[in-house]
Structure 1
Amino acid sequence: MSRYEVRLSGAGGQGMILAGIILAESTLDNDELNVVQTQSYGPESRGGASRAEVVFSKEAIDYPKVIQADLLVALTTEALDKYGDDIKKTAVVIADSDYIDLDYNPGDGVEYYSIPIINTAIEEIGLKLTANMVALGAASHFIPDLSEEEILKTIASRVPAGTEEKNKEAFKAGKKLVSEMKS
């Protein structure tokens, strides 16, 4: 991979910043991969569109922000509206099927997955706050050079004490959602 750019977006407070941090930290032991993570949550820290960006590269990373996303995850209509056009022509877009009420046409060449991210967290995991881990699991399916074992270890070290297993379950549920759609 020369450069792979990921944008995780949603409303402030949905945990997409934490998902981005976990994604980036899970690759720190990979000596062949450079990674940088940035985030935007300033005035929109509760409710408005927020995003976490992670850039992976086997080369030096000379610019730390996403230029055009290879992978976009959007949990809200506002996030998809704000970031949905800033993607590569061959990007993967994952949107929450129950919370995106927008007619979104990503264009030819883009893989588009509309999956129930938040409802999976609520109904399967029993904890809405794990929706960010469902989203992370779905996203991880498409990102090259990731270790699921490292992601799960990073989740356990970053989420609130007592929620580790629920968050790991949520991550696996997100991977399953995409795997079932691709088969």
Structure 2
Amino acid sequence: MSNIKQTVKFFSPLSITTYPSHEYGECGAGDLPEELSPSEAVYYMDEILSAIEKEKLPSEGDRGLMVYFYDDQALSEKIYSLHPTVEEWNGKLWGVMVAEVYGELTEAETDKLLDFAVGQMSDGWGEGFEQRPIKTDDGEIFVSFWNSDHFFIKPERELKQENEQNFSEQTMGGM
């Protein structure tokens, strides 16, 4: 196992719901939650990052969510840490799982890590996080890392390469 640590990021769409506040903080009977677009969500990035920071438990230490990974001892040693965060990319706010890894992950190891990450996003860490309101100047927002209509999770380079290919006029022949 390599002792050089590298950072690998996995991106997924966020689902952000807001309950707009009113002058006196009262909710009217007709107040329905509104879905924020990923580009609108960028405006609340600092509040979301602050809420993620508050969610961290002392028992997680530097390893973050990897302290809950019990499936594969060797893989647990290879993946030093896993931390949820959000990042702006291409004018949109994304959910990001940041892993610190010794060496390169195989495809099978990446699949195991992503299964674990999605489990944390939907049932573990993320289940609690999405139920806690995040206060903003415009009212409360609720952030889900997995509850998007078009959920996926991809390595950063894959997401960004696909995007470049979509914008590129050039096509590759002979595939």
Answer yes or no: same fold by TM over 0.5. Answer: no
Larger radius of gyration: 2
Q: Which has the higher contact order (CA 8 A, sep 6+)?
A: 2
Question: Structure 1 or 2: larger strand share?
Answer: 2
The two structures have a TM-score, normalised by structure 1, of: 0.31
TM-score (normalizing by structure 2)? 0.32
